[in-house]
Amino acid sequence: MDIDRRYINQIEVLTNVFTIDKNSLKVYLIRRLEEPFKGYWMLPSNLLMTSETIEECALATIEEYVGIKGIHIEQCNVFSKVDRLPNDRILGNSVIGIIDEETLLMHKKKTPYEGVWFNIDEIPKMIFDHANILKDAANHLKSHLNNPLMLKMFFPSDFTLPELQIVYEQILGKKLDRRNFRKRILNLGILEDTNYKTNNKMGRPAKLYRFKESEIEYYE
């Protein structure tokens, strides 16, 4: 069957990979080594092959550029402006990936690319429409802040409420009242007290919490 070329489009899978590093929300970007925009930063991405799914392409891209295998990913958005790239008609499929800090430290492998974890509030100049795609991904995180499945990807093990509050503040882009945040998050019923506290020699020990497995199963 002959296919009308007017209906043939390439698809670029762009990955927005987030982690928590030293109580800061960060995203992984790589430096572009060719013109146009040589020296600017970009989201790790690849063109989708006919032999793979978008999810397979996203996971392979993250492994290739970031050096991490098999992380949590989810569909974010599609960008289809005809002129999103100057010389080619390529759709942009945005995917979010989340890596917890411990997995990043233990399983990250070296890659041949120049990649940097940037604080979400300190994003450098980016190529083409990548800044808008990243902003959209950050808004996606904002709209899913009460989903324990997503939050557990950042905190798979025990955490304190101040640590969780920092993530909320960085995603929302504003400061939150400590008492109001504590009351609100505990009233959601998604956390359980581990009955343990931090070993903080410099200050008052803080309670450690974890996400309830029953709530995680509800959202899956």
Q: Note the residue count of the chain.
A: 220
- Which position has the higher pLDDT, 6 or 61? 61
Domain count, the chain: 2
Question: Does position 156 have pLDDT exceeding 80, yes or no?
Answer: yes
Tokens for 25, please give them.
């929300």
Average pLDDT, the chain: 90
Percent of the chain with pLDDT over 70: 95
Is pTM, for the whole model, over 0.75?
Answer: yes
Q: What pLDDT is stored for residue 126 in this prediction? A: 98
Separation CA 160–CA 203 (nearest Å)? 14
Of the candidates 94, 99, 105, which has an alpha carbon nearest to the alpha carbon of residue 19?
99
Residues 181, 117: one domain?
no
Residues 167, 137: one domain?
no
Q: What pLDDT is stored for residue 1 in this prediction? A: 63
DSSP 93: E
- Model pLDDT for residues 160-185, shown as the tens digit of each residue: 999 899 888 888 888 999 999 999 99
Question: Does position 216 have pLDDT exceeding 70, yes or no?
Answer: no
Q: What pLDDT is stored for residue 218 in this prediction? A: 44
What value does the mean pLDDT take over residues 32-61? 96
Cα angle 117, 76, 156 (rounded to 5 degrees) comes to: 55
Residues 137, 159: one domain?
no
Separation CA 35–CA 126 (nearest Å)? 13
Residues 66, 112: one domain?
yes
Q: Which domain holds residue 48?
A: 5-143
- Positive or negative: CA dihedral 27, 154, 103, 163: positive
Separation CA 59–CA 114 (nearest Å)? 19
- Model pLDDT for residues 93-143, shown as the tens digit of each residue: 999 999 998 888 888 888 999 999 999 989 999 999 999 999 999 999 999
Residues 182, 116: one domain?
no
Residues 65, 128: one domain?
yes
Tokens for 217, please give them.
């199963």
Residues 138, 166: one domain?
no
Residue corresponding to tokens 């970007």? 29
The total of other beta-carbon atoms located within 10 Å of residue 137's CB is: 24
Residues 111, 201: one domain?
no
Residues 173, 131: one domain?
no
Can you give the CATH number for the domain in which 214 is found?
1.10.10.10
- Model pLDDT for residues 77-97, shown as the tens digit of each residue: 999 999 999 888 999 999 999
Q: How far is CA 169 from the centre of its chain?
A: 15
Helices (H), the chain: 54-65, 101-107, 130-143, 148-154, 161-172, 178-187, 213-219
Rg (CA), the chain: 19
Tokens for 136, please give them.
């959209």
